[in-house]
Amino acid sequence: MKFIRFDPKPCGFPKPRISPLPNTPLLPSPSAWLCRSIPRRASRNFRHFSRGRYALGEAYRLAGLNREGALLAPAYHCVTMLDPAMALEAEVHLYRLQADLSPDLDALEKLLASIEKPVKALLATHYFGIAKDFSRLKAFCVNREITLIEDCSHVLFTEHFRAAGTGSYGHFVVSSPYKFFACDDGGLLYTPEDHLLDRVKTVPATPVEELRGIKHAWERSRSARIMIGDISSIDLRLESLSACPVVPGNDEIEERSAPSALFSGALAHRESLRCSRLIVDQSSITDNMRRRRENYHRWLEAVTRISNCQTLFSDLPEHTAPYMFPLYIAHPDPHFYWLKHLGVPIWRWDEMADSNCRISQDYRLHLLHLPCHQALTSNQLEWMITALDKTLNRSSAKGFQ
Protein backbone atom coordinates (compact mmCIF):
# COMPACT_ATOMS: atom_id res chain seq x y z
CA MET A 1 0.00 0.00 0.00
CA LYS A 2 1.26 3.49 -0.81
CA PHE A 3 1.56 5.94 2.10
CA ILE A 4 2.26 9.68 1.84
CA ARG A 5 4.09 11.07 4.81
CA PHE A 6 5.30 14.43 6.06
CA ASP A 7 8.52 13.90 7.97
CA PRO A 8 9.00 16.89 10.30
CA LYS A 9 12.57 16.02 11.40
CA PRO A 10 14.34 18.75 9.35
CA CYS A 11 11.98 21.39 10.83
CA GLY A 12 13.31 20.90 14.35
CA PHE A 13 9.95 21.49 16.08
CA PRO A 14 10.13 21.82 19.88
CA LYS A 15 7.91 19.81 22.22
CA PRO A 16 4.41 21.30 22.57
CA ARG A 17 4.04 23.60 25.58
CA ILE A 18 0.63 22.17 26.47
CA SER A 19 -0.51 18.58 26.60
CA PRO A 20 -2.72 17.69 23.59
CA LEU A 21 -4.55 15.12 25.74
CA PRO A 22 -5.93 15.51 29.27
CA ASN A 23 -3.11 15.26 31.77
CA THR A 24 -4.77 15.88 35.14
CA PRO A 25 -7.67 13.70 36.28
CA LEU A 26 -10.97 15.41 37.06
CA LEU A 27 -12.08 13.39 40.03
CA PRO A 28 -15.46 13.79 41.72
CA SER A 29 -15.90 15.49 45.09
CA PRO A 30 -15.24 13.25 48.14
CA SER A 31 -19.00 12.76 48.74
CA ALA A 32 -19.58 11.72 45.14
CA TRP A 33 -16.50 9.49 45.43
CA LEU A 34 -18.04 7.60 48.38
CA CYS A 35 -21.18 6.87 46.37
CA ARG A 36 -19.21 5.68 43.37
CA SER A 37 -16.33 3.77 44.89
CA ILE A 38 -18.06 0.39 44.88
CA PRO A 39 -16.39 -1.26 41.87
CA ARG A 40 -18.85 -2.03 39.13
CA ARG A 41 -18.80 -5.48 37.59
CA ALA A 42 -17.19 -5.57 34.15
CA SER A 43 -19.88 -6.04 31.58
CA ARG A 44 -19.78 -9.13 29.37
CA ASN A 45 -20.26 -6.89 26.36
CA PHE A 46 -16.87 -5.21 26.75
CA ARG A 47 -13.21 -6.12 26.48
CA HIS A 48 -10.42 -3.82 27.56
CA PHE A 49 -7.24 -3.27 25.55
CA SER A 50 -4.30 -0.92 25.94
CA ARG A 51 -5.27 1.14 22.87
CA GLY A 52 -8.18 1.44 20.48
CA ARG A 53 -6.03 0.03 17.65
CA TYR A 54 -5.84 -3.37 19.40
CA ALA A 55 -9.58 -3.35 20.07
CA LEU A 56 -9.99 -2.57 16.36
CA GLY A 57 -7.71 -5.49 15.52
CA GLU A 58 -9.93 -7.83 17.51
CA ALA A 59 -13.06 -6.42 15.85
CA TYR A 60 -11.49 -6.92 12.40
CA ARG A 61 -10.54 -10.49 13.32
CA LEU A 62 -14.02 -11.27 14.66
CA ALA A 63 -15.45 -9.87 11.42
CA GLY A 64 -13.50 -12.59 9.60
CA LEU A 65 -10.88 -10.30 8.13
CA ASN A 66 -7.71 -12.04 6.97
CA ARG A 67 -5.50 -12.22 3.88
CA GLU A 68 -8.45 -13.54 1.85
CA GLY A 69 -10.65 -10.56 2.67
CA ALA A 70 -10.85 -6.77 2.42
CA LEU A 71 -11.57 -3.85 4.73
CA LEU A 72 -13.31 -0.63 3.70
CA ALA A 73 -11.84 2.26 5.68
CA PRO A 74 -12.30 6.03 5.48
CA ALA A 75 -9.82 7.89 3.28
CA TYR A 76 -9.16 10.43 6.05
CA HIS A 77 -7.48 8.38 8.73
CA CYS A 78 -4.67 7.97 11.16
CA VAL A 79 -2.42 5.04 10.31
CA THR A 80 -3.38 3.22 13.52
CA MET A 81 -6.85 2.66 12.04
CA LEU A 82 -5.30 0.61 9.22
CA ASP A 83 -2.42 -1.01 11.12
CA PRO A 84 -4.46 -3.84 12.65
CA ALA A 85 -5.90 -4.78 9.23
CA MET A 86 -2.41 -4.82 7.78
CA ALA A 87 -1.29 -7.03 10.67
CA LEU A 88 -3.98 -9.49 9.51
CA GLU A 89 -2.58 -9.15 5.97
CA ALA A 90 -5.97 -8.01 4.74
CA GLU A 91 -6.51 -5.82 1.69
CA VAL A 92 -7.49 -2.24 2.61
CA HIS A 93 -9.64 -0.03 0.36
CA LEU A 94 -10.26 3.59 1.21
CA TYR A 95 -13.67 5.12 0.65
CA ARG A 96 -14.26 8.78 -0.12
CA LEU A 97 -15.58 11.30 2.37
CA GLN A 98 -17.49 14.53 2.03
CA ALA A 99 -16.28 17.86 3.41
CA ASP A 100 -17.96 17.18 6.79
CA LEU A 101 -16.18 13.81 6.90
CA SER A 102 -19.30 11.76 6.36
CA PRO A 103 -19.03 8.81 3.93
CA ASP A 104 -19.83 9.45 0.27
CA LEU A 105 -22.29 6.59 -0.21
CA ASP A 106 -22.41 6.79 -4.01
CA ALA A 107 -18.64 6.54 -4.24
CA LEU A 108 -18.73 3.70 -1.70
CA GLU A 109 -21.16 1.72 -3.84
CA LYS A 110 -18.85 2.10 -6.89
CA LEU A 111 -15.77 1.19 -4.88
CA LEU A 112 -17.40 -1.96 -3.56
CA ALA A 113 -18.28 -3.08 -7.08
CA SER A 114 -14.60 -2.82 -8.05
CA ILE A 115 -13.22 -5.03 -5.25
CA GLU A 116 -12.61 -8.68 -6.05
CA LYS A 117 -11.94 -10.10 -2.60
CA PRO A 118 -14.87 -10.50 -0.21
CA VAL A 119 -15.33 -7.33 1.84
CA LYS A 120 -15.59 -8.44 5.44
CA ALA A 121 -15.72 -5.18 7.37
CA LEU A 122 -16.35 -1.47 7.04
CA LEU A 123 -14.94 1.07 9.48
CA ALA A 124 -17.00 4.22 10.10
CA THR A 125 -15.70 7.06 12.26
CA HIS A 126 -17.45 9.76 14.28
CA TYR A 127 -14.66 12.32 13.84
CA PHE A 128 -13.82 14.76 16.64
CA GLY A 129 -16.69 13.49 18.79
CA ILE A 130 -19.42 14.82 16.47
CA ALA A 131 -21.92 11.97 16.07
CA LYS A 132 -22.82 11.07 12.50
CA ASP A 133 -26.01 9.34 11.47
CA PHE A 134 -24.78 5.98 10.17
CA SER A 135 -28.23 4.45 9.66
CA ARG A 136 -27.93 4.36 5.85
CA LEU A 137 -24.43 3.00 6.15
CA LYS A 138 -25.69 0.33 8.51
CA ALA A 139 -28.37 -0.72 6.01
CA PHE A 140 -25.72 -0.75 3.29
CA CYS A 141 -23.59 -3.14 5.38
CA VAL A 142 -26.47 -5.37 6.53
CA ASN A 143 -27.68 -5.82 2.93
CA ARG A 144 -24.24 -6.93 1.82
CA GLU A 145 -23.29 -8.97 4.89
CA ILE A 146 -20.45 -6.64 5.75
CA THR A 147 -19.60 -6.19 9.44
CA LEU A 148 -19.93 -2.53 10.43
CA ILE A 149 -17.31 -1.41 12.92
CA GLU A 150 -18.20 1.87 14.56
CA ASP A 151 -15.13 3.89 15.40
CA CYS A 152 -15.82 5.82 18.62
CA SER A 153 -12.17 6.59 19.22
CA HIS A 154 -13.05 10.32 19.16
CA VAL A 155 -16.17 9.82 21.27
CA LEU A 156 -16.74 9.86 25.02
CA PHE A 157 -17.62 6.19 25.18
CA THR A 158 -16.86 4.08 28.27
CA GLU A 159 -18.31 0.99 29.89
CA HIS A 160 -20.78 3.17 31.77
CA PHE A 161 -21.38 6.11 29.46
CA ARG A 162 -21.89 6.65 25.76
CA ALA A 163 -22.30 10.04 24.13
CA ALA A 164 -25.63 10.63 22.40
CA GLY A 165 -25.99 9.27 18.88
CA THR A 166 -23.00 6.94 19.10
CA GLY A 167 -22.33 3.27 19.78
CA SER A 168 -25.63 1.97 18.41
CA TYR A 169 -24.81 1.35 14.74
CA GLY A 170 -21.88 -1.01 14.76
CA HIS A 171 -21.76 -4.77 15.10
CA PHE A 172 -18.64 -3.82 17.00
CA VAL A 173 -17.79 -0.50 18.60
CA VAL A 174 -14.28 0.62 19.47
CA SER A 175 -13.21 3.55 21.65
CA SER A 176 -10.03 5.08 23.13
CA PRO A 177 -10.72 6.20 26.72
CA TYR A 178 -7.17 7.52 27.14
CA LYS A 179 -8.08 10.34 24.73
CA PHE A 180 -10.79 11.57 27.11
CA PHE A 181 -9.32 10.86 30.55
CA ALA A 182 -5.93 11.53 32.14
CA CYS A 183 -4.84 7.92 32.09
CA ASP A 184 -1.90 6.15 30.53
CA ASP A 185 -3.79 3.81 28.23
CA GLY A 186 -7.20 2.41 27.31
CA GLY A 187 -8.93 0.87 24.32
CA LEU A 188 -12.41 -0.57 24.49
CA LEU A 189 -14.22 -3.14 22.37
CA TYR A 190 -17.99 -3.38 22.70
CA THR A 191 -20.63 -5.46 21.00
CA PRO A 192 -24.31 -5.78 21.85
CA GLU A 193 -23.98 -9.55 21.22
CA ASP A 194 -21.81 -10.56 24.16
CA HIS A 195 -21.36 -14.19 23.00
CA LEU A 196 -19.20 -12.88 20.14
CA LEU A 197 -16.58 -11.98 22.73
CA ASP A 198 -16.49 -15.43 24.35
CA ARG A 199 -13.30 -16.42 22.60
CA VAL A 200 -11.51 -13.08 22.93
CA LYS A 201 -8.45 -13.66 25.08
CA THR A 202 -6.74 -10.79 26.86
CA VAL A 203 -3.90 -10.77 29.38
CA PRO A 204 -3.75 -8.47 32.39
CA ALA A 205 -0.94 -5.94 32.75
CA THR A 206 1.90 -6.91 35.08
CA PRO A 207 2.45 -5.04 38.40
CA VAL A 208 5.52 -3.36 36.85
CA GLU A 209 3.41 -2.10 33.93
CA GLU A 210 0.81 -0.81 36.41
CA LEU A 211 3.49 1.10 38.35
CA ARG A 212 4.92 2.50 35.13
CA GLY A 213 1.44 3.70 34.16
CA ILE A 214 1.03 5.53 37.48
CA LYS A 215 4.48 7.12 37.03
CA HIS A 216 3.60 8.31 33.49
CA ALA A 217 0.27 9.74 34.63
CA TRP A 218 2.02 11.63 37.42
CA GLU A 219 4.77 12.94 35.12
CA ARG A 220 2.23 14.16 32.58
CA SER A 221 0.31 16.09 35.23
CA ARG A 222 3.45 18.13 35.98
CA SER A 223 3.68 19.98 32.64
CA ALA A 224 4.95 23.59 32.65
CA ARG A 225 2.43 26.40 33.20
CA ILE A 226 1.57 29.19 30.81
CA MET A 227 2.09 32.65 32.36
CA ILE A 228 0.72 36.04 31.31
CA GLY A 229 4.25 36.97 30.08
CA ASP A 230 4.12 34.05 27.63
CA ILE A 231 1.18 35.68 25.87
CA SER A 232 2.89 39.05 25.53
CA SER A 233 6.08 37.47 24.16
CA ILE A 234 4.32 35.81 21.18
CA ASP A 235 4.84 38.88 18.96
CA LEU A 236 8.57 38.91 19.50
CA ARG A 237 8.89 35.20 18.89
CA LEU A 238 6.86 35.44 15.68
CA GLU A 239 8.95 38.38 14.53
CA SER A 240 12.12 36.32 14.72
CA LEU A 241 10.48 33.21 13.24
CA SER A 242 9.16 35.07 10.22
CA ALA A 243 12.53 36.73 9.62
CA CYS A 244 14.04 33.30 8.88
CA PRO A 245 13.12 31.03 5.98
CA VAL A 246 10.80 28.09 6.65
CA VAL A 247 12.74 24.83 6.78
CA PRO A 248 10.55 22.42 4.82
CA GLY A 249 9.80 18.92 6.12
CA ASN A 250 10.35 15.92 3.89
CA ASP A 251 7.34 14.82 1.86
CA GLU A 252 7.88 11.09 1.51
CA ILE A 253 6.18 8.23 -0.26
CA GLU A 254 6.45 4.83 1.31
CA GLU A 255 5.25 1.53 -0.06
CA ARG A 256 4.55 -0.98 2.69
CA SER A 257 2.28 -3.90 3.49
CA ALA A 258 3.18 -4.22 7.20
CA PRO A 259 1.73 -2.13 10.04
CA SER A 260 3.46 1.10 11.07
CA ALA A 261 5.81 1.38 14.05
CA LEU A 262 2.83 2.55 16.12
CA PHE A 263 1.47 -1.00 16.18
CA SER A 264 3.02 -3.62 18.43
CA GLY A 265 2.02 -7.25 18.08
CA ALA A 266 3.26 -7.80 21.65
CA LEU A 267 0.58 -5.43 23.00
CA ALA A 268 -2.28 -6.75 20.88
CA HIS A 269 -3.88 -8.79 23.68
CA ARG A 270 -2.78 -6.79 26.70
CA GLU A 271 -5.58 -5.38 28.86
CA SER A 272 -5.59 -1.72 29.82
CA LEU A 273 -4.04 -0.86 33.18
CA ARG A 274 -6.24 -1.19 36.24
CA CYS A 275 -5.23 2.32 37.27
CA SER A 276 -6.41 3.66 33.89
CA ARG A 277 -9.79 1.97 34.34
CA LEU A 278 -10.05 3.31 37.87
CA ILE A 279 -9.43 6.86 36.62
CA VAL A 280 -12.10 6.46 33.93
CA ASP A 281 -14.61 4.99 36.39
CA GLN A 282 -14.04 7.64 39.05
CA SER A 283 -13.89 10.69 36.79
CA SER A 284 -16.79 13.06 36.54
CA ILE A 285 -18.37 12.66 33.10
CA THR A 286 -20.54 15.74 33.59
CA ASP A 287 -17.56 18.00 34.31
CA ASN A 288 -15.54 16.42 31.52
CA MET A 289 -18.26 17.13 28.99
CA ARG A 290 -19.07 20.61 30.32
CA ARG A 291 -15.45 21.77 30.21
CA ARG A 292 -14.83 20.30 26.76
CA ARG A 293 -17.93 22.05 25.45
CA GLU A 294 -16.90 25.37 27.04
CA ASN A 295 -13.42 25.12 25.54
CA TYR A 296 -14.78 24.16 22.12
CA HIS A 297 -17.11 27.18 22.23
CA ARG A 298 -14.18 29.41 23.17
CA TRP A 299 -12.30 28.20 20.10
CA LEU A 300 -15.40 28.70 17.96
CA GLU A 301 -15.95 32.22 19.17
CA ALA A 302 -12.26 33.06 18.62
CA VAL A 303 -11.90 31.70 15.09
CA THR A 304 -14.79 33.76 13.77
CA ARG A 305 -12.41 36.75 14.26
CA ILE A 306 -9.30 35.04 12.84
CA SER A 307 -8.52 35.14 9.14
CA ASN A 308 -7.14 32.33 6.96
CA CYS A 309 -8.96 29.54 8.80
CA GLN A 310 -12.32 27.94 9.41
CA THR A 311 -13.59 25.17 11.63
CA LEU A 312 -15.06 21.99 10.24
CA PHE A 313 -17.94 21.94 12.71
CA SER A 314 -19.27 25.35 13.68
CA ASP A 315 -22.24 23.82 15.44
CA LEU A 316 -21.70 21.73 18.55
CA PRO A 317 -24.83 19.60 18.98
CA GLU A 318 -26.32 19.29 22.44
CA HIS A 319 -24.93 16.43 24.58
CA THR A 320 -21.81 16.21 22.41
CA ALA A 321 -18.45 15.85 24.12
CA PRO A 322 -15.94 17.16 21.56
CA TYR A 323 -12.60 15.36 21.31
CA MET A 324 -10.56 18.10 19.63
CA PHE A 325 -11.22 21.31 17.74
CA PRO A 326 -10.77 20.69 13.98
CA LEU A 327 -9.44 23.77 12.23
CA TYR A 328 -8.82 24.11 8.50
CA ILE A 329 -6.00 26.54 7.75
CA ALA A 330 -5.59 28.11 4.33
CA HIS A 331 -1.76 28.32 4.36
CA PRO A 332 -0.03 25.48 6.19
CA ASP A 333 3.18 26.88 4.79
CA PRO A 334 4.24 28.93 6.76
CA HIS A 335 1.52 28.90 9.42
CA PHE A 336 1.82 25.27 10.53
CA TYR A 337 5.59 25.71 10.77
CA TRP A 338 5.35 28.85 12.90
CA LEU A 339 2.65 27.46 15.18
CA LYS A 340 4.67 24.32 15.83
CA HIS A 341 7.76 26.42 16.57
CA LEU A 342 5.77 28.47 19.07
CA GLY A 343 5.01 25.18 20.84
CA VAL A 344 1.26 25.10 20.10
CA PRO A 345 0.05 21.51 20.58
CA ILE A 346 -1.18 20.49 17.12
CA TRP A 347 -1.97 17.09 15.76
CA ARG A 348 -2.32 16.59 12.05
CA TRP A 349 -2.80 13.36 10.11
CA ASP A 350 0.00 14.07 7.68
CA GLU A 351 0.83 10.40 7.19
CA MET A 352 -1.93 8.66 5.27
CA ALA A 353 -2.48 5.86 2.81
CA ASP A 354 -2.93 7.35 -0.65
CA SER A 355 -6.46 7.59 -2.05
CA ASN A 356 -8.43 9.42 -4.71
CA CYS A 357 -10.44 11.31 -2.07
CA ARG A 358 -9.88 15.02 -2.73
CA ILE A 359 -11.11 16.01 0.72
CA SER A 360 -8.66 13.73 2.51
CA GLN A 361 -5.79 14.81 0.27
CA ASP A 362 -6.59 18.41 1.14
CA TYR A 363 -7.12 17.84 4.88
CA ARG A 364 -3.82 15.93 5.23
CA LEU A 365 -1.84 19.16 5.48
CA HIS A 366 -4.56 21.74 6.09
CA LEU A 367 -6.62 20.26 8.92
CA LEU A 368 -5.26 20.87 12.42
CA HIS A 369 -6.51 19.04 15.51
CA LEU A 370 -6.34 21.43 18.47
CA PRO A 371 -6.96 20.46 22.09
CA CYS A 372 -10.17 21.37 23.89
CA HIS A 373 -9.88 18.85 26.72
CA GLN A 374 -11.13 19.28 30.24
CA ALA A 375 -7.71 19.78 31.86
CA LEU A 376 -6.85 22.96 29.90
CA THR A 377 -6.56 26.07 32.03
CA SER A 378 -7.97 29.41 30.98
CA ASN A 379 -4.41 30.77 30.47
CA GLN A 380 -3.47 27.84 28.26
CA LEU A 381 -6.49 28.34 26.06
CA GLU A 382 -5.92 32.05 25.84
CA TRP A 383 -2.26 31.52 24.92
CA MET A 384 -3.20 29.06 22.14
CA ILE A 385 -5.89 31.36 20.76
CA THR A 386 -3.56 34.39 20.82
CA ALA A 387 -0.79 32.37 19.14
CA LEU A 388 -3.22 31.23 16.45
CA ASP A 389 -4.61 34.72 15.91
CA LYS A 390 -1.22 36.40 15.60
CA THR A 391 0.26 33.64 13.44
CA LEU A 392 -2.58 33.35 10.96
CA ASN A 393 -2.65 37.11 10.49
CA ARG A 394 0.96 37.17 9.40
CA SER A 395 2.41 36.37 5.99
CA SER A 396 6.04 35.61 5.21
CA ALA A 397 8.20 37.92 3.10
CA LYS A 398 7.62 35.71 0.05
CA GLY A 399 3.85 35.55 0.67
CA PHE A 400 1.79 32.34 0.96
CA GLN A 401 2.52 29.08 -0.81
Q: How far is the CB of 162 from ligand PLP (least distance, A)?
A: 16
Q: How far is the CB of 80 from ligand PLP (least distance, A)?
A: 4
Q: Give 53 or 341: the residue with its C-beta nearer to ligand PLP.
A: 53
Taking CB under 6 A as the binding criterion, the range among 46-54, 110-118, 165-173, 338-346 that sits at the site for ligand PLP is: 46-54
Q: Give 147 or 391: the residue with its C-beta nearer to ligand PLP.
A: 147
Q: How far is the CB of 360 from ligand PLP (least distance, A)?
A: 13
Taking CB under 6 A as the binding criterion, the range among 45-53, 89-97, 229-237, 379-387 that sits at the site for ligand PLP is: 45-53
Q: How far is the CB of 176 from ligand PLP (least distance, A)?
A: 3
Full strand arrangement of the beta sheet holding 119-125: 46-49, 187-190, 172-175, 147-152, 119-125, 70-74, 91-95
Q: Give 52 or 69: the residue with its C-beta nearer to ligand PLP.
A: 52
Q: Give 51 or 390: the residue with its C-beta nearer to ligand PLP.
A: 51
Residue 334: cis peptide before it, omega within 30 degrees of 0: yes
Q: Is 187 in the site for ligand PLP (CB under 6 A)?
A: yes
Q: How far is the CB of 79 from ligand PLP (least distance, A)?
A: 9
Q: How far is the CB of 171 from ligand PLP (least distance, A)?
A: 17
Provide CB contacts within 8 A for 232, sequence distance 6+.
none
Q: Give 183 or 381: the residue with its C-beta nearer to ligand PLP.
A: 183
Q: Give 51 or 335: the residue with its C-beta nearer to ligand PLP.
A: 51
Q: Give 161 or 349: the residue with its C-beta nearer to ligand PLP.
A: 349
Residue count at the site for ligand PLP (CB under 6 A)?
12
Q: Give 141 or 392: the residue with its C-beta nearer to ligand PLP.
A: 141
Q: How far is the CB of 81 from ligand PLP (least distance, A)?
A: 5
Q: Give 154 or 341: the residue with its C-beta nearer to ligand PLP.
A: 154
| Rounded CA separation 58/237 (Å) | 47
| Rounded CA separation 120/144 (Å) | 9
User: According to CB under 6 A, which one of 26, 81, 353, 388 is a site residue for ligand PLP?
Assistant: 81
| Rounded CA separation 315/329 (Å) | 18
Q: Which of residues 126-185 bind ligand PLP (CB under 6 A)?
A: 151, 153-154, 176
Q: Give 125 or 276: the residue with its C-beta nearer to ligand PLP.
A: 125
Q: Give 361 or 379: the residue with its C-beta nearer to ligand PLP.
A: 361
Q: How far is the CB of 164 from ligand PLP (least distance, A)?
A: 18
Tell me the three-class secondary structure of the chain, residue by residue: CEEEEEECHHHCCCCCCCCCCCCCCCCCCHHHHHHHCCCCCCCCCEEEECCHHHHHHHHHHHCCCCCCCEEEEECCCCHHHHHHHHHCCCEEEEECECCCCCECHHHHHHHHHCCCCCEEEEEEECHHHCCCCCHHHHHHHHHCCCEEEEEECCCCECCCCECCCCCCCCCEEEECHHHCCCCCCCEEEECCCHHHHCCCCCECCCHHHHHHHHHHHHHHCCCCCCCHHHHHCHHHHHHHHHHCCCCCCEEEEEECCCCCCCCCHHHCCECCCHHHHHHHHHCCHHHHHHHHHHHHHHHHHHHCCCCCEEECCCCCCCCCCCCEEEEEECCHHHHHHHHHHHCCCCECCCEEECCCCHHHHHHHHHEEEEECCCCCCHHHHHHHHHHHHHHHCCCCCCCCC
Which residue number places its CB atom closest to ligand PLP? 52
Q: How far is the CB of 53 from ligand PLP (least distance, A)?
A: 3
User: According to CB under 6 A, which one of 19, 23, 102, 125 is a site residue for ligand PLP?
Assistant: 125
Q: How far is the CB of 289 from ligand PLP (least distance, A)?
A: 19
Q: How far is the CB of 58 from ligand PLP (least distance, A)?
A: 12
- Among residues 308, 307, 264, the alpha carbon closest in space to that of 401 is found at 308
Q: Which of residues 49-78 bind ligand PLP (CB under 6 A)?
A: 51-53, 78
Interacting residues toward ligand PLP by CB under 6 A = 51-53, 78, 80-81, 125, 151, 153-154, 176, 187
